[in-house]
Structures are given as structure tokens and as C-alpha cells.
């Protein structure tokens, strides 16, 4: 599952004695208490009588005692808000069942049985968008993590694997297309305008991978021939008017299938692969076996309505969900503590795919930026947890950057330590050993260990310890020997006050200062709290390039001279390390400015050094514009805050904007020349044109920051003459930060041009909520009353309010109004969609790392939310953990 992401124990775990399971107070689930489910459920048949307002579900389960579990005289079937209309055991109606909270308890004796449970649900009333719900007249499911229990009573846990047969019927006029997992086996016409379809998925799967879609849809159809010569039918289902925008998604799917065969040896295993695009969806997409359900955002794209970033997003998410067919479906996770087993591994797979499809260094920088922007703050805050958590109350709160992005980095480290060939041997062994099973993170590590013949005993600490390691670096030179002194510290996190040293693989190079070259890159591994590494043959002190390619997800702390950073920014042959040197140069300068360590002369000297480094990037003919665009980006205000023990958002914003303004004016002619050159490149999807569009908007943004003469007219020219969304949105972004007639003119034109396209109107909301306009708060308040805004659509909510929550100026307004707006949103949204509401708690949860005045205001809003009462389990847990 890709994230944009009940009362009883779902994993058979023992609950705490003081935490009785009730609908509103879920128990604490502990990984150490895992027990296999007492019953096997090898086969499931589901019969749906479909309707938007009312759907009847008849679930038939074949069950048998599980020889690997303790025997039981009852079976517990999880439910969430359901009432059984009828319960049958072996064809006989029974009445000796009972309810325990939301769960159905049925007495069972003997060996195998057939259970049949009838329920009735209302998809149209399901605003939480979990289970079976209605979206613009169609029916759709989302069952991960615990949504299946909202459809019918079932052992809703990932280690119960079953083959599914599904029969669905409904009015053909309402639901002309009927889809489920697996292969279509039969279909026909019913009475009174109804029709039916029967599907069978031959591969055992957990209930979270069940899917059903029924609606008025059309398909972009194609096919793919696998490496063994089987032909697979491919369909992307959308609403009729969206069909022309599905071509890129289809090509991305075929590329993904081909790449997975070549790189990981994984072949698709059904005769059919379907994708459905849904406009109301909590997640980015869901990997249901053979029937992937996608947020429309990650399916629909054409040059007029989607940016280059959107095209990349579609390709990456299509790949992610397809790759889950093996890393998540064929081999699934034993329990939800193992979530990173499938998500971290699959994120790495989609990252490697995207690197191969485009620019490897640019993709690496983008991935690290996401990690630092989302996961590093998580690791240093109240919500910190290992990539394999030890306990949870509400599993939906653990679909986090730690599980996904840090999980991917941990597996990437294994790959670096093994080498690509031995890593592939390990993954082949993993798939062979555990095909058709519900596995654990330990199973994966053991397979890599055995397949690659590598000792990973100490490496397992990466799975059990939270926190981002800090690596202190010092380089000494004596005679002809350079000695690298390293030490590591893993900071305390909630529940883990003390940490053990972890193996940290670091790619390094030592540059000769005169020639600007090095004798080769090396991989060293820091395994102790402190260690030293010596290198011979250096008559003069070399310049150290460390953590090249971001070989480990750590914070590097080094006392490095400004001249050395300038040297690396100009000469490092590792693109990430070169980018990092420039970032470090800027971070060091801005922190000194914020801390008041510089007088005016020193500040100007620092600015001049940065301007010279940026100018060198602008003039360097050896890098392409895609990479140039990355190097021109200054560190974000969020990242700057993460480098400080206590951050003052106002001071950070002032210092960073001051530097941007300086660079805008100091390099004005260079920015104008860059903009003119890039504007002459005609539109295409190749790397040259994509890079030109990227640097064109960067140049415009710097000119706007410097408020140079004619910048609004230049931005309007880019907007009005654009023949693609990347240029148009980039110009509108710049204009949104300014105050003038061109801003109003462009916003009105953009809205009128795209008012019937929901995904583009999401952009219109987001650009305004993220703008640095001085009246951004008032703009967001007005947009909340706009006729096209609704709390019922997660995309629309995120476009307005998540954009605002990452707006460094408006969200952190000294009055506290930004905090109050997000707190009010959480309280409004929680009764409608708890999962989406809970994700807005995180920005307020950073209060401990913010200067005292703002910190008190943020904490007060969290306390107000906590005092409101009747919160969902999702939001309540996030608020309580954030308050500590």
C-alpha cells in the first residue's frame, strides 16, 4: 500500500491487564505475545447483493483446527460495527453465538466446519472509507489494515491465508462493471435488470488483500507477455471522461512488469491484472491481489493537467503496488508488527525501478529529501518507533515514514554490504523459502544472511532500535597517513532510553586537494561506539567525502572548513555528496545567522561563498539540468529546524528568505539567462526538456525572492504561454507568493480553466495554502468556505490543510492562529474520517522542538483536542503520544 494512510486483538496477542478491550479503548497489542490463530480458514466464499445504501453479504468459511496453535472450543471472528443477521454452522442455524465487544464468538467442537454468516452494511454511510464504501456512485473496498471486519465477521489478521470465491450481483444500470480479485470465471444476467459475476483467486491471501469494485467504468486494455510466454490481460478502469489520461499509467505498468522480471526474477502469476482509479481514497493506492485500487492522483496524467512530478508519481506508485504482488502478496506479513517486511522492501524496489527509469542521482536525492523531511522528524519526536514496532493500539497510526522510508534505507544498507549479485541471491532465497506464507522481518534478514553469506547478527539492531544515529567525524593527518575518527550515538527515544551501537556502512573517498581527484571509493563499516580508520599515501591532508550516495540513514556531524565544503561542491564526483556539500555549506551559514554568531561582514562573506558555489553550479556544463535543479534548491525550513535542538521558525524563515533574496539579486543576470535558455527548449518528456522545465521555475523563484524589476510580468508570461502543467503550475506557485494583479489574474484563470478537473483544482487549493503570501492564513480560511471544498474527500482536505501545515510562515504564525486552524480541522474531521484526521496531529506534535512561545501554543491546541472527548481511536492515540 502506498500512503498519501479496532477493538479486539487482531493478531491473537495477549492484552495488558489494565487495558480491557472496548470499542473506544483498544488494547495494547504486543509483538512478543503473538500466537497463531487457532483455526485455519483455507477457503472463503463471499456472496454480495450490491446496493449503495444497503449491501447484503453472505460469508461462507471452511475452517479446521490449526495444528500449530493451541486448541480452542470457540472461534473469534472480528467485526467492526456489524450485527449478524444469521449464523450457520454446517448448514444449521445456531443461536449459541455471543458478542465480545465488536467480535462474534461461535462455539465449535470437533474437526472441520463450514460457517456461514450474513451481514448487511451501508456503503453510502461509510465516510471513513474503510471496508466497503461508496464513491461517486460506485462501490469500492479498502481493507488494509483492518477494513475487512467492516464488511463481514472474519479472523481479520494477516496470518490467516485463504483462497477466495466471490459472487456479486446488482443492478446493471448502476454497476455495469463487477470486479474482484483473481480471474473472472462466470457472468450472466439476472432478473429485474440485475447481472452477476463470479471471481476466483487461486492464490491464498489474507483478508486485507480482498477487493471488490462495482460501478460504471471504462477500461484502457492492453496485454503483457511474461518471460515464460504467458499472456496477461491488463485493464485500467476509470470513469469515461478520464480514459484519455491513462496511457502513462499503462506504460508504467508494463515497464514495472518487465523490470521486476529482469532485476528480481519475479513473474506475474494470474491471467488478469486490473487497476481501478477511485476519487475518494484515504491512501495513495492498494495492492489487492490482481485488483489494485488507486487514488485517481496516481493514475491520471497528461501534459495539460499533470506536472513532471505527477508523471513520476504515477510511474512510481504503479510500480510500488505491482511489486507488492511478490513482496507483500505471495509473501505477506505474519502480523502488523512486520509491516516493514512488505512496505520497506517494496519501497526500495520502487526506488530502484525509478532510478533505472530516470536519473539515478536525482532520484536518490529526492528520496533522501523525503526521508529527512518526514522520517527524521518522526525519529526525533514523541512518535518515534522502530521499523519493527514492539506494541501498538491502533495499527493505522503505524503506516509511517519509519515503516516505509527508513525500512527501505535499512534494506538498502544490506544491499550495499552484500553487493547487488549477492543481495539478489538473498532475495531469491527469501521468495523461495516463504512463497505462500505469512513471514516476519527476521525471515527476510535470515534469507539475506544465508543467500549472501553475510553475518547480519548486529545489523538486526536496525529493526529493534528507534532513532536516527548521529555519526561524529574527525579527520587527522600526520606524515603521509590520514586517520578517520568516527563515533556514533543513537539518541534516546520513547521507551528506549539507552541504545547499542549499530553497524553503519559508509561510502567514503579521500580527495587530493591539488588535483581534485581521489584513488577510489571505499566502503567502511562503523560497528562500535568509536573507531578509527587509517589511510596511507597522503603527503598533504586530503578532503573527506563521506556517506556518499547516502549509504546510511544517519546524521553526519563534522567540523569541516568552509573551503572544504566549497571544494566538494565543486569537485566531488559523487552527485549526492556534491549536493550534500552545498547543502551543508548553506546550513552552516544559516545556523550561524540564526544564532547571531556573525557580524554583517561575516554574514556577507558567507553569502558570497554560497553565491559563488551556486554560480559554479549554474555554469557547470558537466551536469544536466535535472541534477542542476536539485543543487539549486536550498535546504527546507523543516530540515533546518531538524538540525537544531530548539528551533525558532520565525528566525529560520527570515534567515532563509534573506539568503534567497540575496541570491536572487546577486545572480540576477544569471537567473534571467537560465530562464531564457530553458524557455527555448520545446516540450517533451525526455530528460533535457524535463530538466529545462525544472530549472526554469527555480530561476523564476529566485528572481521573485529578490523582487527584481519585472519579475511578476515574467512570471505571468511563463504562466500564460505555458503549453504544459509543469510550467503553468511553477509560474502560478511563484505568483502565489507575491502581491499584485498578476497573482489574482492567474489564480482566476487557472480556476476557470480547470474547475471541472478535481485533481487540478486540488493543485489550486494547495498552491494557495502553501504560499508565502502575508495573508495566507486568511486565504486558507476563505478557501475552506469555497463551494468546491469538502471534508469528505481526503485529496481535497490534504490539498488545503496539509499544504498549510507544511507552510513554514503561515502555520507557525506567532499568533498561534495556524495551530488553532489545524486543531479545529482535526476536531471537525475526526467524526468523518479518523484516519485522515489523525495524520494532522503530527505537525502539532513537534512542539517540544520549537521555541517556548510557539511551543506553548502548539501544546495548548493538543490539550484542547484531547479534552474534546469522544475522539476516534486513531486520533486519540496520536494526541496522547504527542503530549507524552
Query: Looking at the predicted structure, is the pLDDT value of residue 25 above 80?
Result: no
DSSP 8-state secondary structure symbol assigned to residue 2 = B
User: Is 359 inside a domain boundary?
Assistant: yes
Q: Are 817 and 781 in contact (CB under 8 A)?
A: no
Strands of 136-211, DSSP E? 138-142, 162-171, 177-180, 183-189, 194-205
Q: Torsion angle of alpha carbons 761, 766, 767, 769, nearest 10°?
A: 130
Asked whether the beta carbons of 442 and 335 are under 8 A apart, the reply is no
**Is residue 92 included in any domain, yes or no?**
no
pLDDT per residue as tens digits for the range 696-752: 999 999 999 999 999 999 999 999 999 999 999 999 999 999 999 999 999 999 999
Cross-strand partners of 532? 485
Residue 319 has pLDDT above 90, yes or no: yes
Identify the domain boundary among 445, 464, 483: 464
Instruction: Judge if 403 and 475 occupy the same domain.
Output: no
85 lies in a domain?
A: no
CATH number of the CATH domain containing 860: 1.25.50.10
| Average pLDDT for 293-317 | 98
Terminal CA-CA length for the chain: 29
At residue 110, the pLDDT reads: 87
Name the 3-class secondary structure at 508: strand
457 burial via Cβ count (<10 Å: 0-12, 13-18, 19+): exposed
Q: Please, which residues have CB within 8 angstroms of residue 284's CB and are 6 or more apart in sequence?
A: 1, 2, 3, 4, 294, 295, 297, 298, 317
Give the pLDDT confidence of 88-133 residue by residue, as tens digits. Answer: 999 999 999 999 999 999 999 889 999 999 999 999 999 999 999 9
139, 213 Cβ separation under 8 angstroms: yes
Are 396 and 419 members of one domain? yes
C-alpha atoms less than 13 angstroms from C-alpha of 226 in its C-beta half-sphere: 17
CB of 695 closer than 8 Å to CB of 629: yes
User: Which of 399, 395, 401 shows the shortest CA–CA distance to 377?
Assistant: 401
For 587-605, what is the mean pLDDT?
Answer: 96
State the CATH number of the domain containing residue 520.
2.60.40.1840
Q: Are residues 568 and 543 in the same domain?
A: no
Tell me how far apart the alpha carbons of residues 581 and 543 are, in angstroms, rounded to a whole number: 12
Given a cut of 60, is residue 871 above it in pLDDT? yes
Crossing angle, helix 360-370 and helix 575-595, to 10 degrees?
A: 40
Residue 684 is assigned to a structural domain of this protein: yes
- As a whole number of angstroms, the distance between CA 825 and CA 335 comes to 33
Cis peptide before 771 (omega within 30 of 0): no
Q: E strands, 208-331, where?
A: 212-215, 218-225, 231-238, 272-278, 285-286, 291-295
CB 290 within 8 A of CB 258: no
Q: Calculate what percentage of the chain has a pLDDT beyond 90.
A: 96
Is the confidence at residue 766, as pLDDT, over 80? yes
3-state SS class at 554: coil
CATH of the domain at 349: 1.10.390.10
Q: What is the DSSP string of 792-850?
A: T-HHHHIIIIIHHHT-TTTTT-TTSHHHHHHHHHHHHHTTT-HHHHHTTHHHHTTGGGB
Do 736 and 749 have their domain in common? yes
User: Predicted confidence band at 15 (pLDDT cuts at 50, 70, 90)?
Assistant: very low
Is residue 516 helix, strand or coil? coil
Mean pLDDT computed over every residue of the chain: 96
How big is the chain, counted in residues?
Answer: 884
Q: Is the pTM of this model over 0.95?
A: yes
Own/partner contacts of 861-870, CB < 8 Å, gap of 24 or more, are 861/816, 861/819, 861/820, 861/822, 861/823, 862/823, 864/823, 865/823, 865/826, 865/827, 865/841, 868/827
Cα 533 to Cα 209, 222, 266, 490: the distances in Å are 49, 56, 40, 21
Residue 541 lies in a domain: yes
Q: Which residue has the higher pLDDT, 257 or 884?
A: 257
Q: Tell me, yes or no, whether 555 and 673 share the same domain.
A: no
Query: Do 542 and 564 belong together in one domain?
Result: no
Rg (CA), the chain: 28
Residue 464 near residue 389, CB atoms below 8 Å = no
Does an H or E element contain 100, and which?
strand 98-100
Q: Given this model, what pLDDT does residue 5 score?
A: 32
Q: For residue range 37-67, what is the model confidence (pLDDT) as tens digits? A: 999 999 999 999 999 999 999 999 999 999 9
CB atoms within 10 A of CB 689: 18
> Which of 525, 559, 593 delimits the end of a domain?
559
Q: How many distinct structural domains can be found in the chain? A: 5
Complete edge-to-edge strand list for the sheet that includes strand 481-489: 530-536, 481-489, 470-478, 555-558
Same domain as 542, residue 495: yes
Query: Within 10 Å of residue 90's Cβ, how many Cβ atoms?
Result: 12
- Residues annotated catalytic, as ranges: 321
pLDDT in tens, 325-371: 999 999 999 999 999 999 999 999 999 999 999 999 999 999 999 99
Domain that includes residue 788, residue range = 755-884
What single string gives the DSSP state of each residue in 17-32?
A: TT---BTTBPPPEEGG
How far is C-alpha 377 from the geometric centre of its chain's CA atoms? 15
pLDDT at residue 851 greater than cutoff 50: yes
Which one has a higher pLDDT value, 10 or 800? 800
Whether 858 and 766 map to the same domain: the answer is yes
Q: Is residue 57 part of a domain?
A: no
Q: What is the three-state SS of 299-331?
A: CCCCCCCCCHHHHHHHHHHHHHHHHCCCECCCE
pLDDT confidence of residue 38:
98
Judge if 739 and 780 occupy the same domain.
no
C-beta of residue 278 within 8 angstroms of C-beta of residue 295: yes
| 8 A C-beta contact, residue 117 and residue 104 | yes
pLDDT at 21: 35
Task: Say whether both 803 and 816 belong to one domain.
Answer: yes
How far is residue 805's CA from residue 769's CA, in Å, rounded to a whole number? 9
pLDDT at 869: 85
Region 781-790 average pLDDT: 98
Per-residue pLDDT tens digits for 233-272: 999 999 999 999 999 999 999 999 999 999 999 999 999 9
Mutual angle of helices 575-595 and 562-571, in 10-degree steps: 150
Mean pLDDT, residues 384-405 taken together: 97
Q: Rounded CA gap, 311 and 331, in Å?
A: 29
Same domain, 553 and 564: no
Q: Choose one of 723, 754, 785: the last residue of a domain.
A: 754
CB 130 within 8 A of CB 209: no
Q: Is residue 403 part of a domain?
A: yes
Residue 466: alpha-carbon gap to chain centroid: 18
406-434 burial, b for 16+ CB within 10 Å, e for fewer?
Answer: bbbbbbbbbbbbbeeebbbbbbebbbebb
Are 399 and 505 part of one and the same domain? no
* 616 within a domain of the structure (yes/no): yes
- The CA-based dihedral angle spanning residues 844, 846, 848, 850, taken in that order and rounded to the nearest 10 degrees: -90
Beta-bridge mates of residue 78: 154
Amino acid at each position: 500500500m502506498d500512503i498519501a494512510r479496532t477493538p479486539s486483538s487482531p493478531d491473537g496477542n495477549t492484552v495488558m491487564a489494565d487495558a480491557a478491550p472496548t470499542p473506544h479503548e483498544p488494547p495494547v497489542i504486543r509483538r512478543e505475545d503473538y500466537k497463531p490463530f487457532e483455526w485455519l480458514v483455507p477457503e472463503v466464499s463471499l456472496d454480495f447483493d450490491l446496493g449503495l445504501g444497503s449491501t447484503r453479504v453472505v460469508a461462507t468459511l471452511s475452517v479446521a483446527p490449526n495444528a500449530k496453535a493451541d486448541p480452542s472450543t470457540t472461534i473469534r471472528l472480528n467485526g467492526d460495527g456489524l450485527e449478524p443477521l444469521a449464523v450457520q454452522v454446517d448448514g444449521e442455524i445456531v443461536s449459541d453465538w455471543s458478542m465480545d465487544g465488536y467480535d462474534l464468538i461461535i462455539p465449535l467442537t470437533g474437526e472441520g466446519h463450514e460457517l456461514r454468516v450474513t451481514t448487511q452494511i451501508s456503503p453510502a454511510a461509510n465516510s471513513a472509507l474503510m471496508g466497503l464504501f461508496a464513491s461517486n456512485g460506485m462501490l469500492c473496498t479498502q481493507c488494509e489494515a483492518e477494513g475487512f471486519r467492516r464488511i463481514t465477521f472474519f479472523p481479520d489478521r494477516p496470518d490467516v491465508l485463504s483462497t477466495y470465491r466471490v459472487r456479486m450481483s446488482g443492478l446493471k444500470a448502476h454497476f455495469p462493471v463487477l470486479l474482484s480479485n483473481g480471474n473472472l470465471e462466470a457472468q450472466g444476467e439476472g432478473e429485474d435488470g440485475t447481472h452477476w459475476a463470479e471471481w476466483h483467486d487461486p492464490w491464498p491471501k489474507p483478508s486485507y488483500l480482498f477487493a471488490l469494485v462495482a460501478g460504471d467504468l471504462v477500461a484502457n486494455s492492453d496485454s503483457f507477455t511474461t518471460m515464460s510466454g504467458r499472456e496477461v490481460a491488463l485493464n485500467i478502469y476509470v470513469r469515461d471522461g478520464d480514459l484519455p489520461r491513462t496511457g502513462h499509467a499503462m506504460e508504467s505498468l508494463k515497464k514495472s512488469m518487465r523490470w521486476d522480471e529482469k532485476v528480481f526474477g519475479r513473474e506475474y502469476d494470474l491471467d488478469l491484472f486490473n487497476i481501478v482509479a477511485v476519487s475518494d481514497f484515504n491512501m495513495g493506492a492498494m495492492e489487492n491481489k490482481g485488483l489494485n485500487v488507486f487514488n485517481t492522483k496516481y493514475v491520471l496524467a497528461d501534459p495539460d493537467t499533470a506536472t513532471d512530478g505527477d508523471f513520476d508519481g504515477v510511474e512510481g506508485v504503479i510500480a510500488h503496488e505491482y511489486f507488492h504482488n511478490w513482496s507483500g502478496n505471495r509473501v505477506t506479513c505474519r502480523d502488523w508488527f512486520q509491516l516493514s517486511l512488505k512496505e520497506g522492501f517494496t519501497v526500495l524496489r520502487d526506488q530502484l525501478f525509478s532510478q533505472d527509469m530516470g536519473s539515478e542521482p536525482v532520484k536518490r536525492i529526492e528520496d533522501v529529501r523525503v526521508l529527512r523531511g518526514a522520517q527524521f522528524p518522526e525519529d526525533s519526536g514523541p512518535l518515534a518507533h522502530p521499523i519493527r514496532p514492539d506494541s501498538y493500539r491502533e495499527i493505522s497510526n503505524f503506516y509511517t515514514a519509519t515503516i516505509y522510508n527508513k525500512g527501505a534505507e535499512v534494506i538498502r544498507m544490506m544491499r550495499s554490504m552484500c553487493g547487488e549479485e549477492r543481495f539478489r541471491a538473498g532475495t531469491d532465497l527469501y521468495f523461495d523459502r516463504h512463497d505462500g506464507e505469512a513471514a516476519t522481518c527476521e525471515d527476510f534478514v535470515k534469507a539475506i544472511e544465508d543467500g549472501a553469506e553475510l553475518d547480519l547478527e548486529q545489523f538486526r539492531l536496525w529493526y529493534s532500535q528507534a532513532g536516527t544515529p548521529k555519526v561524529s567525524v574527525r579527520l587527522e593527518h600526520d606524515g603521509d597517513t590520514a586517520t578517520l575518527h568516527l563515533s556514533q550515538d543513537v539518541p534516546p527515544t520513547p521507551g528506549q532510553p539507552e541504545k547499542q551501537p549499530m553497524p553503519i556502512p559508509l561510502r567514503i573517498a579521500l580527495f587530493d586537494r591539488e588535483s581534485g581527484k581521489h584513488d577510489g571509493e571505499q566502503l567502511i563499516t562503523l560497528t562500535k561506539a568509536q573507531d578509527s580508520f587509517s589511510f596511507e599515501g597522503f603527503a598533504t591532508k586530503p578532503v573527506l567525502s563521506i556517506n556518499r550516495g547516502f549509504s546510511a540513514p544517519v546524521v553526519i556531524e563534522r567540523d569541516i572548513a568552509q573551503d572544504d565544503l566549497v571544494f566538494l561542491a565543486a569537485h566531488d564526483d559523487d552527485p549526492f555528496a556534491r549536493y550534500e556539500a552545498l547543502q551543508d555549506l548553506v546550513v552552516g551559514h544559516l545556523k550561524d545567522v540564526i544564532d547571531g554568531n556573525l557580524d554583517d561582514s561575516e554574514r556577507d562573506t558567507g553569502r558570497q561563498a554560497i553565491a559563488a558555489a551556486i554560480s559554479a553550479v549554474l555554469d557547470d556544463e558537466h551536469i544536466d539540468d535535472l541534477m542542476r535543479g536539485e543543487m539549486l534548491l536550498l535546504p527546507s525550513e523543516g530540515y533546518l529546524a531538524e538540525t537544531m535542538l530548539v528551533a525558532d521558525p520565525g528566525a529560520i524563515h527570515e534567515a532563509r528568505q534573506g539568503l534567497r533574496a540575496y541570491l536572487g539579486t546577486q545572480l540576477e543576470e544569471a537567473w534571467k539567462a537560465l530562464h531564457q535558455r530553458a524557455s527555448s527548449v520545446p516540450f517533451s518528456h525526455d530528460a533535457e526538456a524535463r530538466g529545462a522545465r525544472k530549472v526554469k521555475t527555480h530561476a523564476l523563484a529566485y528572481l521573485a525572492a529578490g523582487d527584481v524589476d519585472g519579475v511578476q510580468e515574467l512570471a505571468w508570461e511563463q504562466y500564460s504561454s505555458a503549453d504544459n502543467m509543469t510550467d503553468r503550475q511553477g509560474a502560478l506557485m511563484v505568483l502565489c507568493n507575491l502581491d499584485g494583479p498578476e497573482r489574482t489574474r492567474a489564480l482566476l484563470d487557472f480556476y476557470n480553466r480547470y474547475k471541472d478537473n478535481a485533481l487540478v483544482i486540488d493543485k489550486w487549493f494547495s498552491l494557495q495554502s502553501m504560499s508565502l503570501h502575508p495573508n495566507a492564513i486568511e486565504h486558507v480560511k476563505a478557501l475552506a468556505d469555497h463551494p468546491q471544498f469538502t471534508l469528505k474527500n481526503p485529496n481535497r482536505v490534504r490539498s488545503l490543510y496539509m499544504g498549510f501545515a507544511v507552510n513554514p510562515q503561515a502555520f507557525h504564525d506567532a499568533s498561534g492562529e495556524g495551530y488553532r486552524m489545524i486543531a479545529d480541522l482535526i476536531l471537525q474531521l475526526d467524526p468523518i474520517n479518523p484516519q485522515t484526521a489523525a495524520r494532522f496531529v503530527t505537525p502539532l506534535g513537534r512542539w517540544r522542538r520549537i521555541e517556548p512561545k510557539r511551543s506553548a501554543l502548539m501544546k495548548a491546541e493538543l490539550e484542547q483536542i484531547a479534552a474534546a472527548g469522544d475522539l476516534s481511536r486513531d486520533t486519540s492515540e496520536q494526541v496522547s503520544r504527542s503530549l507524552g
